[in-house]
Amino acid sequence: MMVNMADHNSMIVGDRVIEPGNSEKFQTGDWRSQVPVLDKEKCIDCLTCWIFCPDDSILTKDGKIAGLKLSHCKGCGICAKVCPKDAITMKGD
C-alpha cells in the first residue's frame, strides 16, 4: 500500500514499543528456521563467531567459546559463514 506522507496523521496507530530495553524479554529465537550447531572438536576458540553474531548468542568463558545461547539466535548463519574451521553448521530447527 502506498502511503502519502502528507496523510500520516490520519494513519491508524499500529504497535508501539513504549518500554526501552524490552527486547530481552522476547524470545526472538522462536522465529528461527535453522539452528547453529557447534563442533567443539573443530573449534580453535578464535572468537570470530562471537565478534560477528548480531544477537549476542555466542557464550564465552575465559576467552573461549562456552556454547550457544539460542533464546535470541535467529538462525542467520553468520557464525557458520565466518568460522575459519567450519566448526559451526546450520541445521533445520
Task: Provide, rounded to whole angstroms, the least separation between the CB of residue 64 and ligand SF4.
Answer: 8
- Using the minimum distance from each CB to ligand SF4, give the nearer residue, 11 or 28: 28
Q: Which residues bind ligand SF4 (CB under 6 A)?
A: 36, 38, 43-49, 53-55, 57-58, 65, 68, 73-79, 83, 85, 87-88
Around Cβ 36, how many Cβ atoms within 10 Å? 25
- Using the minimum distance from each CB to ligand SF4, give the nearer residue, 26 or 54: 54
- Using the minimum distance from each CB to ligand SF4, give the nearer residue, 4 or 54: 54
Neighbouring C-alpha atoms within 13 Å toward the C-beta of 90: 14
Around Cβ 75, how many Cβ atoms within 10 Å? 21
Nearest Cα residue to 55 out of 82, 84, 75 = 75
